[in-house]
């Protein structure tokens, strides 16, 4: 198990939740997109809001897609030259 997977499993166990329902890669990609478009604090808030939405019953992949769409709309681009 890699370090991120180990930490995620430990954090999930500590909080009493099953971690990674949306998939680690999807969450990290979302955070990277938000950070590029809006800055690091927004990436942290996006991860928090993703968790709140999922906790309230939004399907994890849908929540990721909604936040990714918002980020693209606000940035005014459809791709990033760094990708």
Please indicate, yes or no, if residue 79 is contained in any of the structural domains.
yes
Q: Look up the domain containing 70 and give its range.
A: 22-83
pLDDT tier, 21 (very low <50, low <70, confident <90, very high otherwise): low
Question: Quick check: 77 pLDDT over 80?
Answer: no
Please indicate, yes or no, if residue 1 is contained in any of the structural domains.
no
The sign of the torsion formed by the CA atoms of 63, 71, 29, 49 equals: negative
Please indicate, yes or no, if residue 58 is contained in any of the structural domains.
yes
Best CA proximity match to 70, nearest among 48, 25, 38, 28: 38
Please indicate, yes or no, if residue 38 is contained in any of the structural domains.
yes
Total of domains in the chain: 1
pTM over 0.75: yes
Please indicate, yes or no, if residue 14 is contained in any of the structural domains.
no
pLDDT per residue as tens digits for the range 41-74: 999 999 999 999 988 999 988 999 999 999 999 9
Query: How much is the pLDDT for 81?
Result: 45
Please indicate, yes or no, if residue 11 is contained in any of the structural domains.
no
Q: What is the arithmetic mean of pLDDT over 1-18?
A: 83
């Amino acid at each position: 198990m890699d370090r991120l997977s180990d930490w995620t499993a430990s954090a999930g166990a500590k909080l009493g939740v099953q971690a990674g329902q949306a998939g680690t890669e999807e969450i990290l990609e979302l955070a990277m997109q938000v950070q590029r478009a809006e800055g690091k604090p927004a990436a942290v808030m996006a991860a928090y809001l993703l968790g709140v939405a999922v906790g309230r019953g939004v399907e994890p992949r849908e929540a990721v897609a909604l936040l990714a769409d918002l980020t693209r709309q606000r940035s005014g681009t459809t791709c990033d030259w760094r990708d």
